[in-house]
């Protein structure tokens, strides 16, 4: 499976107003704290891969859920489409210890407040309004696709951006981690 994602810088208040105007369903707001790791056997920066533990909690809750995600290299120059493998963790702290004992080192932590929406007309796409600490405000449109569906999924994501009155030519391929490290 592939995650097809397009991301643009945006004024989140304006986008929220537009999403509501389009009749979107709010899926909730979460705080995500992503810890990214460097591998002892290869450079993820060179291979364009990522390994992270994500801790996520609802804005009004203290308990966090955790998962581990591997992201493969980008598969095109137009979007942030890449293979993604993710699974839940019962104990994020224990898995962090496993990684460190295997020689993986924490590289950076990205924290963001993320509001999720779904438009009925685009029910397979999630729209997120991200306020990312030390990086800025961005809107992401994403979906999951198979090899055969990559191009239509990417085109659909650009259509959603246009419905939000955002410019597909302003898409950013750099991850939040990359942006944070550039600072």
Q: Which of 2, 36, 37, 125 is catalytic?
A: 36
DSSP string, 25-37: EEEEEEEEEEEEE
Instruction: Give the Cα separation of 82 and 42 in Å (integer).
Output: 19
Catalytic residue flag (residue 2): no
Which helix or strand (DSSP H or E) is residue 65 part of?
Answer: strand 65-74
User: HSE (CB half, 13 Å, CA atoms) of 147?
Assistant: 0
CB neighbours of residue 142 within 10 Å: 21
CA angle 74, 80, 83 (to 5 degrees): 50
- Pick the closest to residue 30 from 100, 98, 111 (CA basis): 111
Catalytic residues, which ones?
36
């Amino acid at each position: 499976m592939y995650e097809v994602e397009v991301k643009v810088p945006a004024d989140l208040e304006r986008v929220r107003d537009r999403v509501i105007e389009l009749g979107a369903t709010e899926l909730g707001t979460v705080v995500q704290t992503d810890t990214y790791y460097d591998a002892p056997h290869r450079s993820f920066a060179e291979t364009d891969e990522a390994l992270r533990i994500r801790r996520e909690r609802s804005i009004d809750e203290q308990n966090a859920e955790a998962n581990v995600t591997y992201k493969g290299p980008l598969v095109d120059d137009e979007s942030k489409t890449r293979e993604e493998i993710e699974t839940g963790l019962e104990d994020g702290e224990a898995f962090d210890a496993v990684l460190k004992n295997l020689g993986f080192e924490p590289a950076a932590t990205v924290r963001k407040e993320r509001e999720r929406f779904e438009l009925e007309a685009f029910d397979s796409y999630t729209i997120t309004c991200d306020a990312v600490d030390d990086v800025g405000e961005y809107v992401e449109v994403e979906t999951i696709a198979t090899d055969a569906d990559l191009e239509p999924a990417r085109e659909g994501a650009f259509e959603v951006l246009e419905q939000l009155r955002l410019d597909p030519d302003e898409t950013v391929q750099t991850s939040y981690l990359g942006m944070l490290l550039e600072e």
